[in-house]
Structure 1
Amino acid sequence: MTIPTVTGVHLGGSAALPLLVCGPSLGTSAVALWSQAADLLREHFHIMAWDLPGHGNNRGEVADSFTMAELADGVQAFVDSVLADRGESDDSYVYAGVSVGGAVGLRLLLDQPDRITTAVLACTAARIGDEQMWRDRAAMVRSNGTSTVVEASTRRWFAPGFTDRHPEVAAALLHSLMATDTDGYTAVCEALAAFDLRGDLSRIRTPIVALAGAYDVATPVSAMAELAHGVVNGRLVVLDRASHLAPAEAPADVANTIIEAAGIRAASPGYERASGRAEETAPQVVSTLADRRAAGMAVRRAVLGDAHVDRATANATDLTREFQEFITDYAWGGVWTRPGLDRRSRSMIVLTALIARGHHEELAMHLRAARTNGLTDDEIKELILQSAIYCGVPDANTAFRIAAQTLTAEPEGNTAR
């Protein structure tokens, strides 16, 4: 049995506060991934985050190979040392982990079920990817280093537009990836290749929040739903504007979720403001019809803008109100929240369909929405040019006229939806 050495870093909070242990994603450091969320948690928790072998501050010799169960044993040994320093023995703690850190959390919940009081497991799954994918990635990194996975990781880690809005956060995370030891990265890949706890989820009774990113393709919402509904006491929360690294992309929402899960106090709206990121929204639970409507309204506001939705709501009549609710429930809540396509792709599909069908009033509204979803004017131009071939030159001509008017004008227009 090989128990890898796991080391950690203190990210804030007094040792007199409850212990929160934070786990990383493959290729990240604890500091780069968790610091911003920790700034919002330090008054509630003593925060200790751990680094994977060969990652971050964990620069000791890396074991040739280890399993996820052995990695979890290494994490528990680290936690026990922290508890000993706090003057506690075999005491309990709150756990939050991302991706492989979340997978380790599942293993800990199975092996020592009484130690963790509650867990927030973000952007993870009981089975992440498949064996051959991890074997292939390990072989590639072993041969060429971690720089070879930077481009793919950038696409996988961040929701559309995040790197432009927060270049310093993205740069710190990508730097931690490039600085990761090759042996450490490949050893974790090999461990993940054999990891599969889907058949064991029903044994986990600890309260769990499965925190999913709506744009996450590595561990999509469907996989997080499988986790949330597979354990005895699970809850699914979807972060509307996050992909695979939720604590860095949506630190306020993650902090709020951890605070709520731990039962310290109700979530505070101030956390959205504290992060300084106006685009972040409250986490959405998407498990009931009411939740779907709430999620749909959140996406509708994010895509069309508060002013537009407020006008539409104010202008609703007895004749149109139920139709608005129908659109919010089934279009925005039922389709736009699905993880299979990102919002840029959905905007391109909608624009093409509206051009083809001649829905010109809707086209103006969705041209503005496409910008919000990250499409550039040049990309919109290319989309309309292509529609000239497949939909017809007259349709494209009209679309160009509407685009020229809409994209240079102040937001206004249709309030029907």
Structure 2
Amino acid sequence: MPALSWRSDGSADAPPLVLLNSVGSSTAMWTPCIAPLSERFRVIRIDTRGHGDSPPSPPGSPCAIDDLAGDVLATLDGIGLDRVALAGLSLGGMIGMWLAVHAPERISRLAVLCTSAHLEPLQLWADRSAAVREKGTEAIADAVIARWVTPGFAERDPVAFRAIRAMFTAVDAESYAQCCDAIGGMDQRSDLARVAAPTLVISAEHDPATPLPHLKLIADRIPGARLEIVDGASHIATYEQPARVAALLIDHFRGGGTTAAGYAVRREVLGDEYVDAALSATTPLTAGFQDFLTRYAWGEVWTRPDLSRRERSIATLAALVTLGAEHELTAHVRGAVRNGLTPAEVVEVIQHLAIYAGMPRANRAVAIARDALDRGEDRSS
């Protein structure tokens, strides 16, 4: 197979997170979740053969789950990634489970969403691949998409619904049929106990394609796996509950703060100059504290999913102004701007605090903020 198409979002220095799509979709199915994920990870989305921008699979090409997994491994080799966290939905989850069993050195953590280790009836997949080979994906589009989203989704979000349908009908018919054959021929149930990567299993409340018993079986057989159910969503849960899905993935893949992740976030918020100065001032006496600060505050707390960085900056400014922590305020004023606050909003936050923290501290904080923002503008001009 020619190389698969892939795209990357987020900092190149962030921990890599690979996302795999369902059969009949493309990496666009992850778009509603990308913003929060790419704040914390280098998100790499890989299109299955014949899906999205990946080249089609010629008739007669070998296409079992191991072949599709081989495509992913070859793509990761081409990118230069040896070990990654991976999340896959439906077919993407099937590929992810195969990789976790047969290439465990490549998968650090795994999440599988709305998927199965074995899907019956097998005749359904044979009939579907035959129909698509004869008439194209348009012939089955409405029936398939009715299982992807909950009733009423088209009325609630007609733009998204049209985009989903267009994504499905754009898939190469032969590649889609081959992937259906791969699903019909798959049975990974006996292999699940061999998955060693920490695993999150996500089921969607209204998913008729891979209902809860399929996900429960996976969670029961993978040692230590955790099962979560997303309410108010069907098979492609990333469209109907993107915030919930992203929060679950962030919580799972964060896996505890690390120094490397902490430094990445610390630099993004406070800037390289500030962090480099802090590091240059580190001594053997203070090195342990610097590691603790970076790992715990920046790698653990600042990466938690329930508040955005913008919201965390507002909370941090409130604490620093109230405490009179002037030595920290300049860096966090500039960090707040990096996290999306305007200079006017920074001053508005401080003005609000004058009521609760006291006028003298707010007055001093406004002066510090003015100087910090003025100097920041001078450096960028």
Bin the TM-score by the shorter chain.
0.5 to 0.7
Q: Could you tell me whether the CA contact under 8 Å between 1:54 and 1:62 is conserved in 2? A: no
Q: CA deviation at 1:53?
A: 1.4
Match of 1:183 in 2: 174
Please tell me whether residue 36 in structure 1 is matched to residue 32 in structure 2.
yes
CA deviation string 1:234-290 (max 9, x = no partner): 11100001110112221111111111111254743347x99xxxxxxxxxxxxxxxx
Does the CA-based 8 Å contact 1:128-1:218 persist in structure 2? no
User: How far apart in 2 are the matches of 1:64 and 1:48?
Assistant: 29
C-alpha offsets along residues 358-390 of structure 1, whole Å, 9 cap, x if unaligned? xxxxxxxxxxxxxxxxxxxxxxxxxxxxxxxxx
TM alignment of 1:9-408, pairs within 5 A: 9-31=6-28, 33-62=29-58, 64-65=60-61, 66-82=63-79, 84=80, 90=82, 92-262=83-253, 263=255, 265=300, 267-270=304-307
For the 8 Å contact 1:53–1:62, the answer to whether it is kept is: no
Query: Matched residues in 1 for 2:36 and 2:156: separation?
Result: 20
Cross-structure match for 2:322: none
Distance apart, 1:113 and its partner CA: 1.1
Q: Which amino acid aligns with 1:225?
A: K
Between the aligned partners of 2:306 and 2:49, the Cα distance in structure 1 is: 37
Q: Deviations over 1:53-101 (max 9, x none)?
A: 111001345352311111101111111212x2xxx5x3x2110101000
Contact 1:145 1:182 in 2 (8 A): yes
- CA distance change for structure 1 residues 194 and 209 in 2, over 3 Å: closer, same or farther? same
Whole-angstrom distance in 2 between the partners of 1:114 and 1:242:
33
Q: Return 5+ residue gaps in structure 1 as ranges.
A: 275-417
Inter-partner Cα distance in structure 1 for 2:220 and 2:3: 30
Return the alpha-carbon distance in structure 2 between the equivalents of residues 208 and 188 of structure 1: 24
Q: Which moved more, 1:157-166 or 1:104-113?
A: 157-166
Larger Rg: 2
Do 1:120 and 1:258's aligned partners in 2 also have CA atoms closer than 8 Å? yes
Tell me the alpha carbon deviations over residues 10-64 of structure 1, each in whole angstroms, 9 at most, x when there is no partner: 2410110111100001111112x01121122111111111111111001345352
TM-score for both structures, normalised by structure 1: 0.60
Contact 2:117–2:218, Cα closer than 8 Å, also in 1: yes
What secondary structure, in the 3-state scheme, does the structure 2 residue paired with 1:196 have?
A: coil
CA displacement, residues 222-241 of structure 1 (integer Å, 9 cap, x when unaligned): 11010011111211100001
Alignment-mate amino acid for residue 230 of structure 2? L
* Aligned partner letter, 2:40: H
The separation in 1 between residues aligned to 2:121 and 2:16, in whole angstroms, is 33
Listed one character per residue, the Cα deviations across residues 170-209 of structure 1 (whole Å, up to 9, x for unaligned) are: 2212101111111111010111111010111111121111
- Give, in whole Å, the separation in 2 of the partners of 1:148 and 1:260: 39
Distance 1:177 1:6, change over 3 A: farther
In the alignment, what sits opposite 2:327?
A: none
- The amino acid of 2:24's aligned partner reads G
Query: Aligned partner of 1:75: which letter?
Result: V
Question: How far apart are the structure 2 equivalents of 1:142 and 1:173?
Answer: 21
Q: Conserved in 2, the CA contact under 8 Å of 1:54 and 1:180? A: yes
For 2:109 and 2:128, the matched residues in 1 are separated by: 33
| Aligned residue in 1 for 2:291 | none
8 A contact 1:6–1:51 mirrored in 2: no
Q: How much has 1:115 moved relative to structure 2? A: 1.6
Distance 1:213 1:270, change over 3 A: same
Whole-Å separation in 2 of the counterparts to 1:164 and 1:244: 18
Whose helix proportion is higher, 1 or 2?
Answer: 2
Contact 2:56 2:174 in 1 (8 A): no
Name the SS of the counterpart of 2:109 in structure 1.
Answer: strand
The SS at the match of 2:105 is coil
Q: Secondary structure at the match of 2:234?
A: coil
Contact 1:123 1:211 in 2 (8 A): yes
Tell me how far apart the structure 2 counterparts of residues 170 and 27 of structure 1 sit (CA, whole Å). Answer: 14
Q: Which runs of 5+ in 2 are unaligned?
A: 258-299, 312-381
Letter in 2 for 1:245: I
Distance 1:167 1:9, change over 3 A: farther
Aligned mates of 1:170, 1:238 — CA distance in 2? 23
What is the CA–CA distance in structure 1 between the aligned matches of 2:250 and 2:31, rounded to whole Å? 16
TM-score by length of 2: 0.66
Q: Aligned partners of 2:5 and 2:248: how far apart in 1?
A: 23
